[in-house]
Chains A and B, each alone.
Chain A
């Protein structure tokens, strides 16, 4: 009955799957109405900017200024201009970028290289034009002349990975010594998004298979192993079905939910564990099932509650996909538990007695090597509690030192491995040119034409020079650069006129002159329509979120040192990454603190005792502190994946303590009704470690096995998630088995003051 009902439900949820929508854009981590997105959209509109830009680097050891390479640059640019999704009018490269020059008294505002030079002399004059215009250096040509770049802005909604793939095909057609690099936020972002889904499609089944195999090795019963697997799969289908039915798109975060649910499902292993022990004791299947459910029912319920609560706190976060993820996993966890109490016992009845007996044969505390080993572990804590706690304290101090070394940062390009195309491309372009990441500093006045004042122009120029002193800033440019350039060119290229002119009229007329010949975007990108706002482009040499924070600090410092009626405000993708990074990070820290409180409350409720809650809390906290200590020492930065994990880890790591203490107290209660004495306590602790402890260990190993798979992923956040969860599970199991006995022995006077409860 239960089984067929379950199948009907599952099929019902499955019908929702065809309606699945996906959303791979991390930008949607923040709602479109968030301040930073509204402001960035406004800046994009005001200055006719594009959200996303791909940077194509072309490098030649012998220098790019030769006829062959220039021919390639021209052909590649031409092909890029024909690509769908590319904002063709605003692609900047040798053939398209606007150049302002003076040739024998004639002012020329025209593309730098409309035709590929035919003679070496033409190449030389191109070289001269390039290097005498400061707007070009480090932007489209490196100082050593060995690298050039094509800046490819994307139209709204274009997929960066698709365009990047097409550009890769284009450059593949060219033969020769040139090396090509394709970088930029949209490439990293959309490649990551795409790979994330593929990885999930590969890793969730692999994790499932690994768990199936490990389980089979533990219980030697395929039918039951598959039952446990089905338990996980059914809850995944239910929760994904609900998500899709509710109309939510599958975001990067929710795509991770299946692996999490699969791991959380391992909790039902405690039921199996106990069942085999019980069965071995009295050989009656039905009775064993009922007794098992009676014994483990409470801890399993509470661990589920704790896990669900740990994820449910995410529902209170600001970031929508995080909320969806939290709700999704919490729902899945509850589903899992319902199944544990209905579907799994129901499935037990289908199993032939003979099979169970075969499996149960190994489940004897005194015979099982694993049980003996676990008993030994607990013995360390129970027999030498002081030494154990002291070692713990030392580790604790070490961990705290490690934690103080943690650097908070996030860099999406570093989500790719060191040797990956994206990482190499980014590093190379950043080394040779101004940088692949763009931030803006917008100078704002309420007065029309204020930007045309020579004072404003000089202020912007000074701010640029100030920002360029930062190591992370590779290039800046603004309207002031155009004005200076035109001033110089109008005065027969006299370097003495490479300055802002004296009058507002001159600035206005220069800009007007520029606008009559240049591409409209040249001017629109740097000043707004009423000339009350100016946009300073800041090219950054790194995608570190903190780089933009540095720029903002430097800009604020400059403003403090040079008071002006111009306000300044950051914008752009680099700024978005900074805000997004901070929001997610601090949201997660907030979630972490909330989870701490909620989990503690559940512990108190479970044990109906403050003292026991404190004791069971210790291994959990200790595990997390140790991991962060290691993170701090390893120099791994506290980035988004880690912050998300820390929040989730609480609800999952607390399980073992609940099981351990729950069963320990049960055992005590079965043995004695009065205040227990030391020997009984130690004996009970050892029993707990050997019997439910085996379940804990099995749970930890299974959990770790499923996540260990992730450590072979090509993307670093997966490796981080894998390593983090594997070490967390193993550590918290060890902590429970060693430290709980030590603490209970040490604090027995306090803990048992009022008897058992």
Chain B
């Protein structure tokens, strides 16, 4: 994995420039499956130098009961397509207010994660071996929130197909290490105009459809196309989660100090409002 990173960095750079080209002249040439997925990864998880947004999540059980999560999420990229840092402040549910969560994401190795538990005023490091586990109790996994590296799967272009009004590339991805993940394959519909995933289907190890991701709302914010409303549905249990992003801002020149252990205990007031 590590040996790959240099080559990957090159490819990512190429991908980024191709992406710009493709945006300028749509359907110039048929991109390969790997190129599509590399572009999608950048479009979805790396727009701008940094980002902040107010996220409201609705977790809906199979009998229609709901739980709410409201959080402010900030992200800062250290390197396009590479290392990233996330700082999350929880507003709701009320009893977790002031909880904060910090993630240092490294390509090719486990994240570092810290959590501040205000009730006992304690910062704890949290092991991050399982990226497929649930994010904040929702149907989204950590990987769904912060991205899965395209190099971890083998990609195959299946066809081109419309999702609603949008033309999309349909790509099938199979994990290189099947034991490390809960899905045996994933089929993605990547918007040929914005490179954002419009839909994803995750199949379990039996080959049965398990989870379906849909991008419900796309908005262009400061020139960056953003999925502002997304849904992940577990078709086997009937449980689903919706995540809505509001007040999305890119390139805010967020301070590196925000992404530190110290900020966990005393987050800046502008985040906790």
Contact = CB atoms under 8 A, between A and B. Distances in A.
A and B are interacting partners? yes
Contact of B137 (A106, A506, A512): A512
A278 to B, nearest CB: 72
B237 interface: yes
Interface string A62-94: 000000000000000000011110011100000
Contacts of A528: 65
A141 to B, nearest CB: 22
A111 interface: yes
Interface string B189-216: 0000000000000001110001000000
B44 interface: no
Contact of A88 (B65, B67, B129, B206): B206
Interface stretch (B8-16, B119-127, B259-267): B119-127
A209 B122 CA distance: 80
Interface string B124-149: 11110110011111010000000000
A520 B239 contact: yes
A509 interface: yes
A516 B117 contact: no
B118 interface: yes
Nearest to A516: B136
Contacts of B90: 512
Contacts of B205: 81-82, 88
B134 A517 contact: yes
Nearest to A523: B137
B119 A509 contact: yes
Interface in B240-268: none
Nearest to B210: A89
Given A48-B61, A509-B118, A524-B61, A110 B129 contact: yes
Nearest to B241: A520
Contacts of B99: 509, 512
Interface in A493-522: 501, 503-510, 512-513, 515-521
A84 to B, nearest CB: 7
A291 interface: no
Nearest to B96: A512
Interface string B58-87: 000111011100000000000000000000
A149 B16 CA distance: 51
B270 interface: no
A431 interface: no
A449 to B, nearest CB: 7
B126 A48 contact: no
Nearest to A84: B206
B129 A114 contact: yes
17 contacts: A48-B61, A88-B206, A108-B129, A110-B129, A155-B236, A505-B95, A505-B119, A506-B120, A507-B95, A508-B96, A510-B117, A512-B95, A512-B99, A513-B115, A517-B133, A517-B134, A529-B67
B93 interface: yes
A452 interface: yes
A454 to B, nearest CB: 11
Given A110-B133, A508-B96, A513-B117, 10 more contacts: A88-B206, A89-B182, A110-B129, A449-B95, A501-B120, A508-B95, A509-B96, A510-B117, A512-B99, A517-B126
A84 B205 CA distance: 11
Contacts of A510: 117, 119
Contacts of B236: 87, 89, 155
A155 B236 CA distance: 9
Contacts of B93: 508, 512
A46 interface: yes
A122 to B, nearest CB: 15
Query: What DSSP secondary structure best describes chain A's contact surface?
Result: mixed
B120 A106 contact: no
A512 B125 CA distance: 16
Interface string A88-123: 110000000000000101111111001000000000
Contacts, number: 119
A431 B165 CA distance: 62
Contacts of B206: 81-84, 88
Contacts of B61: 45, 48, 524, 529
A530 interface: yes
A520 B65 contact: no
Query: What DSSP secondary structure best describes chain B's contact surface?
Result: loop
A490 interface: yes
B239 A48 contact: yes
B179 to A, nearest CB: 8
A528 B93 CA distance: 15
Q: Across chains A and B, which 4 residue pairs bring their CB atoms closest together, nearest first?
A: A508-B95, A515-B137, A529-B65, A506-B119
A110 B126 contact: no
A255 B214 CA distance: 50
A516 B71 CA distance: 14
A46 to B, nearest CB: 7
A611 B132 CA distance: 81
A87 B204 CA distance: 11
A125 to B, nearest CB: 14
**In which size bucket is the chain A interface?**
35 or more
Contacts of B130: 110-111, 114, 517
Interface of A: 45-46, 48, 81-84, 87-89, 103, 105-111, 114, 155, 449, 452, 490-491, 501, 503-510, 512-513, 515-521, 523-524, 528-530
A613 B235 CA distance: 66
A452 B119 CA distance: 13
A515 B67 CA distance: 12
A87 B238 CA distance: 13
B53 to A, nearest CB: 19
Nearest to A155: B236
Nearest to B239: A520
B238 to A, nearest CB: 9
Contacts of A452: 95
A105 B134 contact: no
B212 to A, nearest CB: 15
A490 B66 contact: no
B124 A89 contact: no
Contact of B119 (A109, A503, A519, A520): A503
Contacts of A501: 119-120
Contacts of A81: 205-206
A89 B236 CA distance: 9
Contacts of A512: 90, 93, 95-96, 99, 136-137
B87 to A, nearest CB: 15
Interface string B93-129: 1011001000000000000000101111010111101
A491 B63 CA distance: 36
Contacts of B66: 529
Contacts of A110: 127, 129-130, 133
Given A81-B205, A505-B95, A516 B119 contact: no
A107 B120 contact: no
Given A48-B61, A110-B129, A509 B137 contact: no
Contacts of A503: 119
A45 B96 contact: no
Contacts of B210: 89
A229 B237 CA distance: 54
Contacts of B63: 45-46
A83 B207 CA distance: 11
Contacts of B124: 105-107, 490
A504 B127 contact: no
A225 B136 CA distance: 76
Contacts of B134: 515-520
Nearest to B204: A88
B37 to A, nearest CB: 26
Contacts of B117: 490, 506, 509-510, 513
Nearest to A504: B95
A89 B204 CA distance: 9
Contacts of B122: 490
Nearest to B135: A516
B246 to A, nearest CB: 22
Contacts of A504: 95
A518 B133 CA distance: 7
